[in-house]
């Protein structure tokens, strides 16, 4: 099912398709939007496979992949900028249905003879969409429904052959189409949850216009993934980095199902896990799942590696470096291994991709948010070959896969936990004292949320330790201690998130317990920042 992801900062040389389940695929050309992959996720919700490629992918390369449809993403540029990213103009002659979203629509208009100018008044946030043509793309989309706008430019003249589909109060051309050539453009973002009619529009494009069938299923993925693992690994041995989270656990089950005893799971205890989790992990896998796990206590090694380090990217780099070297030492002790299995997911790849300006052309592309230990911290002299069967999946898809192959709900529904663990939930230098403080505070947060039956109401629930101290009063004594930040968010896939409206009595209980039970903390604050503009993790 896998096709190669072409980084947006590199010109594509060759695009491959590896054993895709069928010929049904919708391709998204990325013009620098942080939501390009969210479009892919929305397509997959229709049970049709989708992937993101660079906007530089040529028409010939697209023809070779034979997609059922193409979507042009949004982006930060204006089409009339000197270095605005443009697609191969030959794509308009492929005879493949194309949907342009925001910048993608403006590019379509610009390249096909229309006009795009800076708007007198930009449009950002929720807008009511008034439908002029309720057929085709906008079938069953309610007139006046809310859509999400984010643009400073507008289409002032449609290309020849195009018709108006919809408008808003501030945007005369909010949706347009050339029905004959099956070219469509929308100025809004149907992929975001704020666009209430967005998924209906996407289904119209996928099913009605592109004539796809819903064949991208969990069972089909598992079958194909096992086949690909066996084909790639052959009779070789595989070392797997187990953390106990849904990603690595699903990976372990999938790999064990594919190659059996040729898989060796290794749990490197780097000292950045939450309280009591290492013990629980080992017991679960050995006693309940009967999958052998090699335990390695490397707490001192990792803590020493982070001595004096405050930069989050350097933390990730050093943790990734230590992981690999620890695995290499372990593999030498256990015997020869050719492959290292990692639970890298699509969002990991997304947030680690790209720079904001191409150094050769000056073109603006996707901005790098942060590197992930799975994709950004590996040394160049890595002697293992990587096997990453979950690399194209979103978190919700991984949960479905885990559930389908027998992973218990305790793990399937586990909140995401970063590979670097508590090391990136301690802002600044990581010390043994700070780790102990954060472990105790984090345990209280989880206990209070679990006891009230709220765990599954939230995407992530955790504590962050800030490297500052503030004055407090306890028992008529002056204190000078750390603050703990509570981070509780709701999300569908981790790509976007909103802070959770946690009941005040729950926040009060958490705060009271932390300041009373955790030595070294005298203040608790609540993070009410959404993603964007923030990220879910602080580092």
Q: Over range 281-294, report the average pLDDT.
A: 86
Q: Residue 361 pLDDT > 50, yes or no?
A: no
- Cα 249 from Cα 272, distance rounded (Å): 18
- Average pLDDT over the chain, rounded to an integer: 86
Secondary structure of residue 245 in the 3-state scheme: coil
Q: Is residue 434 predicted with pLDDT exceeding 90? A: yes
Q: Is the pLDDT of residue 370 over 70?
A: no
Residue appearing with tokens 């069938």: 213
pTM of the model: 0.71
How much is the pLDDT for 122?
A: 67
HSE, side-chain direction, 13 A CA sphere, residue 352: 19
Angle between helical axes of 218-233 and 395-404 (0-180°, round to 10): 90
Which pair of tokens denotes residue 487?
């981070």
Q: Tell me: the pLDDT tens digits for 103-158?
A: 999 999 999 999 988 876 666 778 899 999 998 999 999 999 999 888 778 888 99
Structure-token pair, residue 60: 């010939």
Q: Do residues 209 and 200 lie in contact, with contact meaning Cβ atoms separated by under 8 Å?
A: no
pLDDT digits (tens, 9 = 90+) for 521-538: 999 999 999 998 899 999
Cα 177 to Cα 168: distance, rounded to the nearest angstrom = 16
* Cβ-based neighbour number of residue 112 at 10 Å: 18
Return the SS3 of 521. strand
User: In the predicted model, is pLDDT for residue 315 greater than 60?
Assistant: yes
Burial class (CB in 10 A: 0-12, 13-18, 19+), 283: exposed
* Average of per-residue pLDDT across 326-349: 83
Please name the residues in contact with 104: beta carbons below 8 A apart, sequence gap of 6 or more. 29, 31, 71, 72, 73, 74, 75, 185
pLDDT bin (cut points 50, 70, 90) of residue 482 is very high
Handedness of CA 144, 147, 149, 153 (dihedral sign): negative
How far is the C-alpha of 344 from the C-alpha of 196, rounded, in Å?
31
> Burial of 211 by CB count in 10 Å (0-12 exposed, 13-18 middle, 19+ buried)?
exposed
DSSP, residue by residue, 186-211: ESS-TTSTT-TTHHHHHHIIIIIIS-
Instruction: Using DSSP, state whether 66 is helix, strand or coil.
Output: coil
List 151, 189, 372, 373, catalytic entry:
189
Element (H, E) at 268: strand 263-269
With cut-offs at 50, 70 and 90, classify the pLDDT of residue 368: very low
Contacts of 528 (CB under 8 A, 6+ apart): 499
Q: How far is CA 91 from the centre of its chain?
A: 28
Distance (Å, whole) CA 498 – CA 494: 10
Reduce the DSSP state of residue 284 to 3 states and report it.
helix
CA dihedral 412, 413, 418, 420 (to 10 degrees): -60
Question: In a 10 Å sphere around its CB, with 0-12 CB exposed, 13-18 middle and 19+ buried, how is residue 78 labelled?
Answer: middle
pLDDT of residue 23: 66
Known catalytic residue at 415: no
Which residues, 6 or more positions from 325, have their beta carbon under 8 angstroms from its beta carbon?
Answer: none
Question: Does residue 189 have an active-site annotation?
Answer: yes
Q: Which of 126-140, 383-397, 477-491 has the lowest mean pLDDT?
A: 383-397
Quote the pLDDT of residue 375.
Answer: 39
Under the banding of pLDDT at 50, 70 and 90, the label for residue 323 is confident
Q: In a 3-state reduction of DSSP, which class is residue 253?
A: helix
Indicate the SS3 state at residue 349. Answer: helix
Averaged pLDDT, 336-362: 63
Q: What is the CA radius of gyration of the chain?
A: 25
Query: At 77, is the secondary structure helix, strand, or coil?
Result: coil
pLDDT at 381: 62
Distance CA 241, CA 10 (A): 30
Cα–Cα distance, 232 to 4 (Å, whole number) = 15
Q: Which one of 9, 45, 191, 326 is the catalytic residue? A: 191
pLDDT of residue 373: 44
Report whether pLDDT(51) > 50: yes
Q: Is 313 a catalytic residue?
A: no
Catalytic residue among 102, 210, 212, 265: 102
Pair 181, 213: CB distance under 8 Å: no
Spatial distance between the Cα atoms of 483 and 429, rounded to a whole number of angstroms:
15
Confidence label for 21 from pLDDT (cuts 50, 70 and 90): very low
Q: Residues, the chain, total?
A: 539
């Amino acid at each position: 099912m896998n096709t190669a992801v072409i980084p947006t900062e590199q010109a594509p040389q060759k695009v491959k398709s590896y054993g895709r389940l069928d010929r049904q695929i919708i391709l998204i050309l990325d013009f620098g939007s942080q939501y390009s992959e969210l479009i892919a996720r929305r397509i997959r919700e229709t049970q049709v496979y989708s992937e993101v490629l660079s906007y530089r992918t040529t028409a010939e390369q697209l023809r070779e992949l034979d997609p059922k449809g193409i979507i042009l993403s949004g982006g930060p540029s204006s089409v009339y900028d000197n270095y605005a990213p443009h697609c191969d103009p030959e794509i308009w002659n492929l005879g493949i249905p194309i949907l342009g979203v925001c910048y993608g629509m403006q590019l379509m208009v610009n390249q096909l003879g229309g006009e795009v100018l800076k708007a007198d008044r930009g449009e950002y946030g929720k807008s009511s969409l008034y439908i002029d043509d309720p057929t085709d793309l906008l079938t069953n989309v309610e007139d006046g429904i809310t859509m999400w706008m984010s643009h400073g430019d507008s289409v002032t003249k449609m290309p020849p052959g195009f018709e108006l589909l919809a408008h808003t109060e501030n945007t005369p051309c909010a949706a347009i189409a050339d029905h004959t050539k099956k070219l469509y453009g929308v100025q809004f973002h149907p992929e975001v949850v704020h666009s209430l009619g967005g998924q209906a529009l996407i289904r119209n494009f996928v099913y009605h216009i592109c004539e796809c069938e819903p064949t991208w299923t969990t069972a089909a993925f598992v079958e194909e993934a096992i086949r690909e693992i066996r084909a790639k690994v052959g009779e070789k041995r595989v070392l797997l980095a187990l953390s106990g989270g849904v990603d690595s656990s699903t990976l372990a089950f999938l790999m064990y199902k594919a190659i059996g005893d040729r898989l060796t799971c290794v749990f490197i205890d780097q000292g950045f896990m939450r309280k009591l989790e290492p013990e629980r992990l080992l017991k679960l896998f050995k006693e309940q799942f009967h999958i052998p796990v090699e335990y390695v206590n490397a707490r001192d090694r990792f803590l020493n590696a982070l001595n004096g380090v405050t930069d989050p990217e350097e933390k990730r780099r050093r943790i990734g470096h230590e992981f690999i070297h620890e695995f290499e030492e372990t593999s030498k002790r256990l015997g020869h291994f050719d492959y290292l299995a990692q639970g890298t997911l699509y969002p990991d790849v997304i947030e680690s991709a790209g720079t904001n300006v191409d150094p050769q052309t000056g073109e603006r592309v996707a901005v790098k948010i942060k590197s992930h230990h799975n994709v950004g911290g590996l040394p160049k002299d890595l002697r293992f070959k990587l096997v990453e069967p979950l690399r194209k999946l979103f978190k919700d898809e991984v949960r479905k896969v885990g559930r389908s192959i027998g992973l218990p709900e305790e793990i399937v529904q586990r909140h995401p936990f970063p590979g670097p663990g508590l090391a990136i939930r301690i802002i600044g230098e990581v010390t043994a004292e700070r780790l102990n403080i954060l472990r105790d505070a984090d345990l209280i947060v989880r206990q209070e949320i679990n006891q009230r039956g709220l765990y599954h109401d939230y995407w992530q629930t955790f504590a962050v330790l800030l490297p500052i101290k503030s004055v407090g009063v306890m028992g008529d004594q002056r204190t000078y201690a750390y603050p703990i930040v509570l981070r509780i968010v709701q999300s569908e896939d981790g790509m976007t998130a909103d802070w959770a409206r946690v009941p005040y009595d729950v926040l009060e209980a958490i705060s009271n317990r932390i300041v009373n039970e955790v030595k070294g903390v005298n203040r608790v604050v609540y993070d009410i920042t959404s993603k964007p503009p923030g990220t879910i993790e602080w580092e």
